[in-house]
Amino acid sequence: MNIRLFKPYLTQEELDSIKDTFDSGWLGLGPKVMEFEKNWSTYIGGSYSLAVNSATAALHLALTAFNFPQGKKVLVPAITFVSTANAALYNGLIPVFVDVDPITLQMDIVDLKKKYDNDCVAVIPVHYGGYPVDIENILDFAYDKGMKVIEDCAHCAGGEYRGKKLGTWGDIGCFSFEEKKLMTTGDGGMICSANEEIIEKLKPYRWVGIDKDTWKRASEFRNEAVNDAYHWHYLISVLGYKYNMNDLAASIGLIQLKKLDYMNMIRSKHINLYLENIKDLKEIKPLLPYNTKRDVYWIFGIRTKQRDKLIVFLKEKGISTGVHFYPLTLHPLFMNFYVPCKTAENIWKEFITLPLFVELTEQEINYVSEALYQFKG
């Protein structure tokens, strides 16, 4: 046995779509990216979308959209991937770490209120693992204080809360299409907002500050009605980045998006089987209060006091594991921003992420589950 932790679900359809882009002779930022953005907006509903090369870039630009003065503060959960907090640093802002709820592992609203001060300008809640944060209460508090809310949706593409897609609740939603996430474009990300001005404003920021992308210029050149010798001309007014998605990635994304609900449904079935299999274990408990009828999940994890021994035991059985995540407050990068997050700093020691991906088989899930029963500690 050799079971991976994550695996993208790719078929002939994605290959055909890539071939289509090859045949078009246009691989960069172009019509496939625009089509993918349009389809994404339709899928999540009530939103405009801007495709970028990662969720890291999406989070960076999401904060850039508001022109916050340098040195202001951004509230982020202590348990998340580093990019959530880096978004603040990239913008000359200070990350303020908020502890997590011990049960849901989501940003703790009580600690959020405690860590808030007048310098806080934004909150970036993460729907960690795919479990929705208490977004309504976070929005109430944030808007009452005049803060912006950026949802980090790297773990919940396709997920909903009260019938409304995650990523459409706050001012901006950021998604990841990195290869281990719920759907992939190899690497990629999406910025979403119901506010069209935000998306228009960010367009040059993803394309080194250029106000007209090359595809638009090429289209104007081919359009004979435009009798203009300056079709090539553009102006730089902002310090932008090379953060665009390209047509090759978007051609994969177009197909993956069509399959997203199916893939989420299969992952939920896998989680249901895991949960049923391990329900009699005493020392090993599910990581989250999984509700597969309501949510979509990126990871299936467990908690155990014997974490490190179990990781080695599973490794010997050919089962890959991970830990999501070591608290950001404990990383040297954030030493100067340290604030206590007691729950996060203890609870991560119990985390193990188990294999979860579409093509994981029932036999493999049973094999992993049996290994958990065999573990004597």
Ligand X SMILES: *Cc1c(COP(=O)(O)O)cnc(C)c1O
Residues 291, 298: Cα–Cα separation, whole Å: 13
Sheet holding 351-354, edge to edge: 284-286, 300-304, 351-354
When asked if residue 185 is in the footprint of ligand X (CB under 6 A), the reply is no
Residues 59, 77: Cα–Cα separation, whole Å: 14
Token pair in block for residue 363: 């036999």
Which of 47, 56 has the CB closer to ligand X?
A: 56
User: Number of residues in contact with ligand X, rule: CB under 6 A?
Assistant: 14
Q: Please pick, from the candidates 51, 100, 135, 154, the single residue that binds ligand X as defined by CB under 6 A.
A: 154
When asked if residue 184 is in the footprint of ligand X (CB under 6 A), the reply is no
Q: Please pick, from the candidates 173, 189, 253, 301, the single residue that binds ligand X as defined by CB under 6 A.
A: 189
Site string for ligand X, 90-129 (x = CB under 6 A): ------------------------------------x---
Token pair in block for residue 148: 């912006």
When asked if residue 54 is in the footprint of ligand X (CB under 6 A), the reply is yes
When asked if residue 152 is in the footprint of ligand X (CB under 6 A), the reply is yes
Q: Tell me the closest approach of the beta carbon of residue 346 to ligand X, in angstroms.
A: 20
Token pair in block for residue 163: 């019938």
Which of 207, 313 has the CB closer to ligand X?
A: 207
When asked if residue 256 is in the footprint of ligand X (CB under 6 A), the reply is no
Start-end of H helices in the chain: 12-24, 31-44, 55-64, 82-90, 109-115, 135-144, 196-202, 214-222, 247-278, 307-316, 342-347, 362-374
When asked if residue 176 is in the footprint of ligand X (CB under 6 A), the reply is yes
Three-class SS state of 363? helix
Contacts of 229 (CB under 8 A, 6+ apart): none
Q: Please pick, from the candidates 41, 83, 106, 353, the single residue that binds ligand X as defined by CB under 6 A.
A: 83
Point out which residues bind ligand X (CB under 6 A).
54-56, 80-81, 83-84, 126, 152, 154-155, 176, 178, 189
